[in-house]
Amino acid sequence: MKKTKSIYCILLMILVLLISGCSKNSKSSGNESQKDILLTPIIEEPSAGLTVTPIEITILPTAIPTRPPEEDSESKRVAKNLMHTMTLEEKVAQMFFVRCPEEHAQDILEEYQFGGYLLFARDFEGETKESVTKKITKYQEVSKIPAFIGVDEEGGTVNRVSKYPAFRVKPFESPSNLYKKGGFDEISKDTKEKSELLLSLGINLNFAPVCDVASSSKDFIYPRAFGTEVKKTSEYVTLVVKTMKEMGIGSVLKHFPGYGNNVDTHTGIAIDKRDYETFQNNDFLPFKAGIDAGSPFVLVSHNIVECMDDKLPASISEVVHRILRNQLGFNSLVITDDLSMDAITTYTGDEAAAVLAVEAGNDMLCCTNYKEQIAAVVSAVKSGKITEERIEESVLRILQTKYDMGIIK
């Protein structure tokens, strides 16, 4: 009997020891399970008829990624160093893309130091390739900062150079005709030949391609537009801009925000009554294609676009410029259509137009009456109406673009 009790005692002690060990392990195991619960969501089957609403979790980054500062770019360093050597008058003059004067063009450029000269048909009439090249070379020789030398050589109804046999046997055809003949292959060949001709003369900027999408064949812009299809027009713009860039010549996208079925602003004010969705789904798309392809310029029209700004022509509307910058993401040079056109002169005087154009956000002003307009902008800066920082913002872009295009070495 005693022996049996001893065995029971021993078994009882072993049982107590086992229970004690399990209790310790259980505590340890419990801690690990709690960790798992914190990391792993418990998924339960929903009861019948119960609707489960998922919870959306937004993970916020600890820091917002930023683009590398532009201060580090070589073009910006060169531009800044150059800008610091310029007087206020020289900075303002860089913002002017002047219609080349009929007489004393070299002397006038030497005096004012414009940002660029825009050549028209009269500058090629009766000239030869050699004589034009010589003139342009002299323009650059008197420019402290090499100038943009531009021309409108669209093909079709707008040709400044090839309309004269001294430069081409026959004028360049319109893009729409070329496309009908041989598709985008013909457009590519034409763009290359056009670029080669202009570059050989010393012209570094062609005011093309036309990005406007015509509504019908009756529209004023139709002969100059690629057509009425937005997708095809966007493909055309992309091809032309990329080809010109590869050839080493700058392009100008025109006429933002899109001409549509509006009247000719050379002879009066055009009021565009279309809704904003039309621009988003149609007119903006070829411009966006050209911007994405790397065009250095966008030209803004003088149309009053009521859905954007029902009071001011697009070229002097801050709202339109914000749309171009913020909605389409354009960060290079914005230039006005000619401020001497009737759509502007009817609306406001030369001096006021130039000041309004700068205030709206234009980087360059296309003009004929440069004396009055430059003086008005300089005066506006000196009076505090326009800050010098606003001028420098555009001048920096101008100089950077010239550097990027190889105009400034």
Per-residue pLDDT at 65: 30
Name the band, by pLDDT with cuts 50, 70 and 90, for residue 21: very low
Q: Which of 161-175, 258-272, 391-405 has the lowest mean pLDDT?
A: 258-272
| Residue 53, domain member (yes or no) | no
| Residue 345, domain member (yes or no) | yes
Our count of domains for the chain comes to 1
| 232 vs 218, more confident | 232
| Residue 9, domain member (yes or no) | no
Per-residue pLDDT at 274: 94
Per-residue pLDDT at 217: 85
Per-residue pLDDT at 66: 28
| Residue 256, domain member (yes or no) | yes
Write the DSSP assignment of 220-284 as a string of letters.
TTTTTSS-S-HHHHHHHHHHHHHHHHHHT-EEEEEEET--TTPPPTTSS--EE---HHHIIIIIH
| Residue 248, domain member (yes or no) | yes
Per-residue pLDDT at 71: 55
Per-residue pLDDT at 59: 26
- CATH code for the domain in which residue 234 is found: 3.20.20.300
Q: Which amino acid is at 62?
A: T
| Residue 370, domain member (yes or no) | yes
The beta-carbon contacts of 175-180 under 8 Å, at least 24 apart in sequence, are: 175/209, 175/210, 175/226, 175/236, 175/240, 176/225, 176/226, 176/227, 179/226, 179/227, 179/232, 179/236
Q: Which of 94-98, 116-120, 301-305 has the lowest mean pLDDT?
A: 301-305
Domain range for 156: 83-404
Per-residue pLDDT at 49: 37
Reply yes or no on whether the pLDDT at 16 is more than 50: no
- pLDDT, tens digit (0-9, with 9 covering 90-100), for 22-78: 444 443 333 333 333 233 333 333 333 333 333 232 222 323 232 344 456 899 999
| Residue 12, domain member (yes or no) | no
- pLDDT, tens digit (0-9, with 9 covering 90-100), for 357-381: 999 999 999 999 999 999 999 999 9
Cα–Cα distance for residue pair 399/115, rounded to 1 Å: 9
